[in-house]
Structure 1
Amino acid sequence: MKQLPKESVSVIVTSPPYNLKNSTGNGMKDGRGGKWSNASLINGYTDHDDCMPHEEYVQWQRRCLTEMMRVLKQDGAIFYNHKWRVQDGLLQDRSDIVAGFPVRQIIIWKRKGGINFNAGYFLPTYEVIYLIAKPDFKLAPKANAMGDVWEIPQARDNEHPAPFPIELAERCIAATNGGVVLDPFMGSGTTAIAAEHLNREWIGAELSAEYCKMAKNRIKKVITHKNKSTVGT
């Protein structure tokens, strides 16, 4: 992002690593918790172990958000997807990450439920999307009629260990008034695919060469399909 000019993108849709392996429980550390016994993230990402000391993780994400704000136009917005967790018996609501940034709204992404092996709290069934907006940001016409609870199933048929639903990214992008879309944690290319579906220009950044290859293959299929559809009409 530091290579991008100031105020050069209109909307950012991203879901960073959640630092799940930095956990007070055993589930994400060694799989004994049952809940994560078949989860790919037990081994972390290919180039990121997802197990940073909490304060280090918070500072990293705050630096990322600071850069996002720098490259965002004055009428732009960030859709920053994150997950609240219980750590040491207390809610970790990510307020330490977003404090001081212009959070305009919290959108609830309601997922399908899973299995909860912890008797200390109810089964978590949602994640949050922080709408972090520059002063002149306005939603696209009629988008303000949508509610702030979005019921969207988890992604399927995606080899990435923490896939992001295309429908969720599409809903974020479609609610804005055009311009370049950025995802600084592109992963398997979901934000780019959503942007392609909506005929929006996009920029993506990804550390992992494996995930870049995965993203390129997925995006290529979408573009090929679009081109065939154009020829057919």
Structure 2
Amino acid sequence: MKNKKKVVVLLSSGLDSTVNIFEAIKHHHEVVLALTFNYGQKAAKKEVEQSAKIAKYLNVPHKVLDVTWFKEFNKSSLLVEDQKIPTGKDVEIDNLEKSGESAKSVWVPNRNGIFLNIAAAYAEALGADSVIPGFNAEEAATFPDNSIDFLKAATHALSFSTANKVTVGCYTAHLNKPAIVLLGQGLNVPWELTWPCYFAGEDWCGQCESCKRAKRAFASANVDVKSLFKG
């Protein structure tokens, strides 16, 4: 019997990363490590908690890495306390220009680049073939580090910096959020364990860009998760 492909998954407990780890297991890969990053984001407490629950649910090894030094080189509203994360009327997910403005507010310099490189180092050390982040086509329009081109470029770079030529792959990079929810439904993802919100309240705020995209996706797929949203 052919050996299972070993993978490291970047798990933030958001819709994309959660569906990717479930999909990896469906494809009979061995998830040798689920990595969650605390980079000082306002949602860190909930992302860490929910990621740990997802990893336990799937019985995969989980590690939380403290990279809060991210605050030293950026002014993202996701991290800086006196910077307001866009919510409510400041977020129009169907308006590309407006989405571009909110993207600038929450942009974290080279976040995914740094995460992938750290994950690739773990992958090489653990004998894993690939790193799997949670990307999507919907946000790639305003976040270029969510794009398929970025995945290809990262794989090319890692072919030089890892001895076993770790690749970067993502099951959802070509999908929008509604399609990702539909994929997750087929995988029986327990949505109550996920955390798409930019904040760390008791419930998903329902008003930040990430929540609004999630709400629309769930509604489009006729998935009732109203109880998880505060607003």
Q: Normalised by the shorter chain, which TM-score bucket?
A: 0.3 to 0.5
TM-score when scaled to structure 1? 0.37
* More strand, by proportion: 1
* More helix, by proportion: 2
* Higher-Rg member (1/2): 1
TM-score when scaled to structure 2? 0.37
